[in-house]
Structure 1
Amino acid sequence: MGDGTARPPLTEPDLDRLLRPLFATAAPQGGLAVAVIRGGERAVACRGYADRAGERPVRADTRFELGSVTKTFTGLLLADMVARGEVRYDDPIDRYLPAGAVPGYPHERPITLLHLATHTSGLPRLPVGLAPAAVPRWFTRPYATFSAAHLLRALPRTPVRGTPGTRVRYSSLGAGLLGLVLERAAGQRYHELLAGRVCEPLGLIDTSCGTGRDEATGYRRGRWIPSFKTPALPGAAALRSTADDMLRYLQAHLAVDAVPIPERTGAAASLRTALREVSLPRVARRGFGQRICLSWQHRPDDGGEVVFHTGATGRCTAFVGFDRAAQTGLVALAGPLATGRRGFVQTAHETLRSLADRPAA
């Protein structure tokens, strides 16, 4: 239990009972993959189909779009680069951007890498200039034609609300800009940097920014939705992954020292340090009862502390959360939903509480 009391093994009927409300959130033509960690137990359960025709059952290796859960990977990449001494949390973003490509704000309090990772930069939720191209395809591919060049041209026209570091304002622009800054600091593209520093060391063999085999497809009002693309902001929402891979990702955050990271020079030590750093609360989110870590959200929860993030694209919805005190974690990756995103996320939170033997709030 959450207080350290030994729990009985999680039997298949127990798992089915616990996950039944979560599976009920999927639309009839949708599919859902769930990965669970409870103590030393691991399980993956799947329901439904990855395509509307019902020809491809969802499996543990079916790839789903992660949406904003990508931000947790970007936060981990930042922490790894800090542990290696390549960047610092308090580095101003000006240091890594081209001259003239900096948001307009009072330079006596510059935006730092930590501000980007904790949503305290004061940057708007989305880039200036995105809307004209995005609105006609808002529910399909709103970011597809907005390039990194567009982003750099838009930054000088981007307003900053308030003093950086003083208030949490969720910003996909800030998270995506962090990915761009890190790739410029390292001299590698974001997807290459993430693959070499995070995905390969953690054994995430099916996690990447690009499309691949056996992906879940999505539909809206009966029409097929194309795959999600965000060329300017991959660090905000570009990743795809599977229940199997996300189970490994959860395990890495719950039991850092037990993660079998290859002992390449400096790689294992820096990544383990980063895994500890990312879930440390950094700033309070006023009015929400939450704190922000490095992209992760942190919430006290009936004697425990839940760290979580959610994500959504036109095709998929994702939830990832863990309770380190209870050594419990949950990943839920879904296609079209019957309950809507809010109902799915609320049910995922309740399922995680049940797995951790904590009462519903």
Structure 2
Amino acid sequence: MSTPLRRLPAVEEQALLAPLLPAAGAVVITARVADQRVIAAAGVAGDGRTAAGPETRFETGSISKTFAGLLLAEMAARGEVAYDAPVDRFLPPGTAPRSRGGRVTLLHLATHTSGLPRLPAALLLRAGPRWFSDPYAAFGTDELLASVRRSRPRPGHRVRYSTFGIGLLGLALSRAAGTPYPDLLAARVLHPLGLHRTDCGQDPDQATGYWHGRPRPPISLPGMPAAGAVRSTGRDLLAYTEALLAPEEAGPGLPESLRTGLAEAVRPRLAVRPGGDRVGLVWNIRRRPGHDLYFHTGATRGFTTFAGFSPQARVVFTAAVNQTCGRRADFVQQAYLLLRGLADGGVPQGVSGTAAA
């Protein structure tokens, strides 16, 4: 996208941030409405000195899962994997799930219909001492495969959100390509899209996350990076969702496999209930009068994030804060309402106006 990202005028910035701003910490939001691209930010990144801005890196939590869905679509476009391929085709011998009625496919994993639980039972046991700091740190690939082998899923029966399932999807894609997942994601998705500040790496460059006012260490997911290891910035999250909004505008040099993947990642795959919400590759899709809202949230032990867009309304909205707010917290609800309001035409003055900071 060639339109420059601009800072909102102070009055509009404060009005837009007010519903999202926590008592302390940093919050960054970005939006695109029609051809206007804007950013608003407040607070400090965690060291007490650096003001939050477009390059502040946040843990994205479960928004990482949407990147895994896009990677699946990109690899399917290349013919390297098939959506209906059973996941055990890409696993070591003797580690397949013991499914009850049919085999678990890659599409089952990407649409949360694999029948796998939200988290592996073994992870919950190991995570106990680290639950409020870095709960996934002791759960590696061997532990994931052992949990898969012990699982008894019933695939295709119903939508059941599963971090376990997306972690397994990432492992399957990695093994299919013969490349570690973080490197594969970077080569196939992040670098081609120009997301140069987005990756799965732990580094001191990211903001400090907080849980109830206490600083938390960076999250580590050695066994399931696809499920929650991605770090990103407001600028990159905006560019990522813009590419999903309009793959045809994502740049002339983009590989056709990725352009196809962008379109396939957001294609509705199933209905959660007749006439109601739908599911793409990981993305939630909510039907509204005249348009659809695509959205996903993320949370770690120190961060909360939101990303959403409406193709018909040509609206994108992302929000990130370096505090754990919980899945049902005001931050997530207010972020969704801001996306919905923008898509419904409730455009703040600074978004649609011409003044630039």
TM-score, shorter chain, exceeding 0.5: yes
Q: Partners of 2:229 and 2:244 in 1: how far apart?
A: 21
**SS of 2:121 mapped into structure 1:** coil
Once the two structures are TM-superposed, the CA of residue 169 in structure 1 deviates from its matched residue by: 0.3
C-alpha distance 323-11 of structure 1, shift in aligned 2 (>3 A): same
Letter in 1 for 2:305: A
The equivalent residue for 2:206 is 215
* Partner Cα separation in structure 2 for residue 27 and residue 340 of structure 1: 15
Counterpart of 2:338 (choices 351, 356, 359) is: 351
Q: How far, CA to CA, are the matches of 1:71 and 1:222 in structure 2? A: 27
Give 3-state SS (helix, strand or coil) of 1:295's partner: coil
Pick closer, same or farther for the CA change 1:288–1:127 going to 2, 3 Å: farther
Q: What pairs up with 1:235-254 in 2 under 5 angstroms?
A: 235-254=226-245
Match of 1:145 among 132, 138, 146: 138
Which runs of 5 or more residues in structure 2 are unaligned?
Answer: 1-6, 347-357
**Gaps spanning 5+ residues in structure 1: where?**
1-9
Shift of 1:27: 2.5
Deviation of the 1:338 alpha carbon: 7.2
Residue 19 in structure 1 maps to residue 10 in structure 2: no
Question: Which residue among 98, 102, 120 is the counterpart of 1:127?
Answer: 120
1:66–1:317 Cα contact (<8 Å) kept: yes
Give the superposition deviation at 1:158. 1.4
Q: Displacement of 1:13 after TM fit?
A: 6.5
Aligned-partner residue type, residue 240 of structure 1: R
Q: Note if contact 1:26-1:335 (Cα within 8 Å) is conserved in structure 2.
A: no
Question: 1:48 — aligned with what?
Answer: 43
**SS of residue paired to 2:122:** coil
Count of residues paired in the alignment:
341
Equivalence map 1:156-305=2 (5 Å): 156-160=149-153, 162=154, 164-260=155-251, 262=253, 268-286=255-273, 289-305=276-292
Shift of 1:223: 2.9
Deviation at 1:136, TM superposition (A): 2.1
Deviation, 1:220, is 2.6
What CA RMSD, in Å, does the superposition of the two structures yield over aligned residues?
2.2
* 1:214-260 Cα deviation digits (max 9, x unpaired): 31112234432110111110111010000011111011112211112
Query: Deviation at 1:288?
Result: 10
Check whether the contact 2:31–2:316 (CA below 8 A) recurs between aligned residues. Answer: yes
Q: Does 1:100 align with 2:94?
A: yes
Cα distance in 2, alignment partners of residues 339 and 237 from structure 1: 15
Within the candidate set 28, 34, 54, 1:33 is matched to: 28
User: Contact 1:26–1:337 (CA<8 Å) still a contact in 2?
Assistant: no
Equivalent AA in structure 2 for residue 139 of structure 1: F
Q: Does 2:77 match 1:90?
A: no
State the Cα distance separating 1:28 from its structure 2 match: 2.4
2:71 counterpart of 1:80? no
* Whole-angstrom distance in 2 between the partners of 1:288 and 1:312: 29
Q: Pick the aligned partner of 2:312 from 318, 325, 328.
A: 325
Q: Deviations over 1:8-43 (max 9, x none)?
A: xx9736843651343xx3322211011101111101
Tell me, in whole angstroms, the C-alpha distance in 2 between the residues paired with 1:316 and 1:288: 33
Question: Do the aligned partners of residues 200 and 59 (structure 1) sit closer, same or farther apart at CA in structure 2, a change above 3 Å counting?
Answer: same
**Residues 1:254 and 1:91: Cα distance change in structure 2 (over 3 Å):** same
Q: Look up the match of 1:118.
A: 111
How far apart in 1 are the matches of 2:327 and 2:147? 33
Flag the 1:315–1:50 CA change in 2: closer, same or farther, 3 A: same
Alpha-carbon distance in structure 2 between the residues aligned to 1:274 and 1:103: 27
- Aligned-partner Cα distance in 2 for 1:183–1:221: 36
Instruction: Give the residue type in structure 2 aligned to 1:67.
Output: G
Q: Residues 222 and 255 of structure 1: is their aligned pair in 2 closer, same or farther, counting only changes over 3 Å?
A: closer
Q: Which amino acid aligns with 2:249?
A: A
Give the alignment's TM-score, normalised by structure 2.
Answer: 0.90
The residue type paired with residue 74 of structure 2 is D
